[in-house]
Amino acid sequence: MIDQKLMHPLKDRKFRFACHRGLSCFTGCCANLNLVLTPYDVLRLKNRLKLSSDVFLDRYATSYIDEKYGVPVVKLKMNSDENRRCPFVSPEGCVVYEDRPGACRLYPIGRAASKIHEGLEAGEYYFMVKESHCLGFNERREWTVREWLADQGLDEYNAMNDLFMDIAAGRQSKTIKRLSDRQLQMYYMAGYSMDEFRRFVFDTSFLNRFDIPQDVLDRIKTDETELMAFARQWLKFSLFGEKTFQLTERPGSFSKQPLHG
């Protein structure tokens, strides 16, 4: 969570900022973080480090159930040194820079987005996160929000993160909090562990139970972003019974035994 005292409105959606090695505060913001990782952050980082999802999550993340939304949340595990530095920061900067989390890309601005409805864009609100130790605000480089998002490669991150926004956001909290432990485990797997979710789809009776078009199967076999979008549709089905999947009627498909509930 961002301290509201650090949040400032962006006049005309413009701001001045630059971060570089010449600043004495360089990498100072990469410590003691309460950094939530989105499913897409986990995907990019585990691939960058050439790790399976399970190994990455065990080594670099912690998880808990969010009190407000009632769903699993993953946070980056800080180092155990005195300053609790990010495990991916070095004196020269971020060692996973090209695949750094979306929150790191967005800094020093923050983004609040409304619930996505099918066929409609999310409402967005941007604000400045102004920490006193950061000298980047004294630099003369001026940005619009749109220029900053493009420069930091955020369009893809925001699009992928918004896929999961309507899984929990906008639903009544009592609906979410009725989810069973098994359903919460499903959410964690389909949201954060793409390697395990792939095994769930291709190495169990899943494809005997559900009628999945061949072109979809071809895409999710080779493209993890497609697999992530598929996982989002599965969560809508398995958690809330939305008709995003069709049961097959093939013999031996166990079509009377859906996997949600």
pLDDT tens sequence across 197-248: 999 999 999 999 999 999 999 999 999 999 999 999 999 999 888 999 999 8
Backbone angles phi, psi at 115, to 5 degrees: -60, 140
Beta bridge partners of 36: 75
Instruction: Indicate the domain borders of the chain.
Output: 4-167, 179-240
SS3 93: strand
For 43-82, the pLDDT digits (tens) are 999 999 999 999 999 999 999 998 877 889 999 999 998 9
The count of other CB atoms within 10 Å of the CB of residue 212 is 16
- For 46, 51, 79, 131, 142, the CA distances from 90, given in Å and listed in that order, are 19, 20, 12, 21, 27
